[in-house]
A and B are shown apart, each in its own frame.
Chain A
Amino acid sequence: MTTDMTSDQIAEQIADPELVDPMLHDDEDFRAPVGPTPKRTPRKRMSKFELYGRRFMRNKPAVGGAVIFVLIVLFAICGGWFAQYDYQELDFLAISDPPSAAHWFGTNDAGNDNYAQVVHGLQRSLLIALVVSIGTTVISAVIGASAAYFGGLYERIALLVIHFLMVVPTFLLLAMVSSDAGGDWIVIAIVLIAVNWFFPARTIWTLSLSLRERDYIAAARYIGISGPKIVLRHMLPNIGSLLIIQFTLGVVGAVQMETGLSFLGFGVKAPDVSLGSLIGTGASSITSSPWLFFFPAAALTLLTVSMALIADGLRDALDPTSAAGGRA
């Protein structure tokens, strides 16, 4: 491994940032794994993360989104400490009660404490969303970039599978499989990854096609670095900013899909709860006990909107040349 490291470093020296197309602007990412950047000028340089941090802070809505997101995560983790009831516990003396001192968010028609349920549902939804988004980003990045790099039969098969999955009504499969799984959240997460990876994979493939032609990739190849290693160490870091943004947007998408499934009754099932299934129960009694809808809906909306604002800020911070103002 160590001998390879040196050849990598040589490859990175050859791919001098000054020679790279300024539009690509992620030479910083490219150099990231090497360790401390060699000092080339005596004047003090701003570190990469300092720069990103400053650019991110400039975007006020993104900062607001980050604050809300941190609060939501804290609420999901620590909210359980203050709960007076377990989320499965039934309080037969308080059935369909509005919010009160004993039950902060009210109770449902079976006597479940809504506060405990919202905390638990939020944890469940967040966990699924994070697992799905990480899985989707990793799989789509590896498949998309390697298809572009290796080309040939492998690329054609990968593209055929991607195009075929676009035709297959994935939501139907998703609903059938997760309904059959009986509400196990791990199965739901795996199935969500399986139906989500191919669209970003195609985007990454398109971007990687031009990346493949760059000099530093050719240089790495001539040095004798193996194909998989070029993909992982030289191609993927160069689309790192895109991957980070895709990850944050992926969280939004996954939360929406999971809650949609659970709302229809195909996702997380009782006794486990997620925000979607809570909204589903709230929907049936929306006029008589609206608090069952309000609290999970507010948690869900805050989660998705804050995540989207963060994605927007990250785009500005990591990718200042991008003109895109939203999901495109």
Chain B
Amino acid sequence: MRRAIGWVMMIFVATNLAYFLSWAYLDPKSNYVGRRPPLSNDQIEAMLEPRNLSDSVPLIERWWTWLTDILLHWNWGVSPVGDPVNDQIAYRMWVSAELVLGATIITTLLGIALGVYTASRQYKLADRIATGTSIITLNIPIVVAALGIVLLAIQFNDAVGTRVFYVTGSSSPGVTGFFPTLVDVAQHLILPTFALVLVGYAGIHFLQRSLLLDNINADYVRTARAKGLTKSQAIRRHALRTSLIPVTTQVAFSIPAIFTGAILTETIFGWNGMGRYFSETISTNDIHGAVAIAAFGALMTAIGAMLADVAVVILDPRVRVS
């Protein structure tokens, strides 16, 4: 409980800091510079003032209006063109979640599975090949990986003659019915998920492999073997369980990083998720939107940290007892 309050405080401070920093670096007024016909200063003021984005109002006053709106009405403000931030986040959150959740689950499972497989065959051919591949995929920049996948998919589509994979957007308009929607979603989802998994799984793979190697020769694993378990049983039931604890912590803490990683993926694949919203808010000087994303990111970090605590409690009986 005290932890939760601490996190709420952290999020509060981080969000407010983001607000002031956004005002220091973003200027909504500059959106109107160079308009044809040119707008007078008063006209710009008249547009920005009701949106609480005018810099003629003192910063403290703007901040107070913004803060009380959030605390009392859960209203995160509007963009310079009057678009409510709440609506944007509510929609885009799910678009991102669709991409990020699936990718995270696949990344984690694949990473752990490969880690266990290679650790139990250390320095054999399969281990060498898998670790060699992983060290390369881990260090392919996500931009290169995603664009490479786009190129391959386009060539594949050309070769087959129909559009099997879509390289832009999260869904096609006008698809109805359960199964057609399912197929449509899959066609859009496969490529970006593949890109995220490709660059992400290796980190978990290496971590799981090295942790399992630390445990695989421990006394309790030998005891388990002596009691008659096969090698794979002993690894799965005894060694793996101990070495899973740091891995889950790592996965939980990487949740915010996955969201930032999705910025590039979403931009390349044209998904209107949180990541793309992030780059849009900055390039359109949308202060309220940028701050909302900062708050969202802080919230994700807090959730990740708390999930890590929960996972440790589930996996580690020593923590549960004390």
Contacts and interface: CB of A to CB of B under 8 A. Distances in A.
Contacts of A101: none
A301 B140 CA distance: 6
Contacts of B301: 166-167
B207 A328 contact: yes
A168 B17 contact: yes
B139 A264 contact: no
A304 B139 contact: yes
A166 B140 CA distance: 25
A309 B135 contact: yes
A125 B93 CA distance: 33
Given A176-B26, A305-B139, A279 B210 contact: no
A328 B253 CA distance: 13
Interface in A273-308: 276, 279, 282-283, 286-287, 290, 293, 297, 300-301, 304-305, 307-308
Chain B binding surface, main DSSP class: helix
Interface string A120-150: 0000000000000000000000000000000
A213 to B, nearest CB: 23
Interface in A140-191: 163-164, 166-169, 171-173, 175-177, 179-180
Interface in A12-58: none
Contact of B139 (A265, A283, A308, A325): A308
B191 interface: no
Nearest to A312: B135
Given A304-B139, A308-B138, A164 B264 contact: no
Interface in B269-294: 278-279, 282-283, 290, 293-294
B78 interface: no
A107 interface: no
Contacts of A287: 151, 154
Contacts of B282: 172, 175-176, 179, 266
A172 B278 contact: yes
A83 B99 CA distance: 43
Contact count band on A: 35 or more
Contacts of B142: 256, 260
A276 B267 CA distance: 14
B263 A326 contact: no
A279 B17 contact: no
A279 B10 CA distance: 37
A326 B114 CA distance: 14
B147 A279 contact: yes
Contacts of B18: 168-169, 172-173
Given A264-B267, A325-B131, A169 B206 contact: no
Contacts of A279: 143-144, 147
B13 A260 contact: no
Interface string B201-232: 01101110111011000000000000000000
B21 interface: yes
Interface in A221-273: 252, 255-256, 259-260, 263-266
A236 B235 CA distance: 38
A305 B297 contact: no
B116 interface: no
| Residue in A169, A290, A297 with the greatest tally of chain B CB atoms within 10 Å | A169
Given A164-B10, A167-B14, A176-B26, A252 B139 contact: yes
Interface string B138-169: 11111110011011001000000000000000
A324 interface: yes
Given A169-B293, A308-B135, A323-B214, A286 B151 contact: yes
A167 B11 contact: yes
Nearest to B131: A325
> Sorted from nearest, which 7 A-B pairs have the closest CB atoms?
A326-B206, A169-B297, A308-B139, A176-B25, A304-B139, A324-B210, A297-B144
Given A263-B267, A309-B135, A328-B207, 16 more contacts: A164-B10, A171-B278, A172-B278, A177-B25, A256-B141, A259-B141, A264-B267, A282-B147, A293-B147, A300-B141, A300-B144, A308-B135, A324-B206, A325-B209, A325-B210, A326-B210
7 contacts: A169-B18, A171-B278, A176-B22, A256-B141, A263-B143, A304-B141, A308-B138
Interface of B: 10-11, 13-14, 17-18, 21-22, 25-26, 131-132, 134-136, 138-144, 147-148, 150-151, 154, 202-203, 205-207, 209-211, 213-214, 256, 260, 263-264, 267-268, 278-279, 282-283, 290, 293-294, 297-298, 301-302
